[in-house]
Amino acid sequence: MDKIVICSAALLSPEGDLLMVRKKGSSYFQLPGGKMGPGENREQTLVRELKEELQFDVSEIGTRFIGSHTTQAVNELNTVVEGHIFLINLTERRPFAAYEELEEVVWISRHDWKSYRLAHLASEFVIPKWLSGEFDE
């Protein structure tokens, strides 16, 4: 079984909504972020990926590492994904657009999240923390 290592962001709006993205050709929504590049650390990967996918520079924004989780990848066969997740609390809700390999960007709420087909990393690790209020601190 193959393994990929990614860094992703749980971006929260001031209202508490969570930003999710869907890649071209995929039916799963996942957190914005992506694979670590050679010689990159987690923070460098996060900054690069959010610039590529959302045209959003988080290099000067406070991020908080919330943990790592390993699970089955949804877009790659016979592959596990090791995700390193960072929390970013935004001071204003932004109208993000999809760039690079993204097809769709959505804000999901605690009321409508079940309407989306979510990748395992989000559904197993981030969504439970988000719904419990752990990110509201």
CA separation for the pair 78, 96 (Å, rounded): 32
Instruction: Tell me the mean pLDDT in the region 73-86.
Output: 93
- Please report, as a single letter, which amino acid is at residue 90: L
Predicted local confidence at residue 137, as pLDDT: 61
Predicted local confidence at residue 100, as pLDDT: 81
- pLDDT confidence of 68, banded at 50, 70, 90? very high
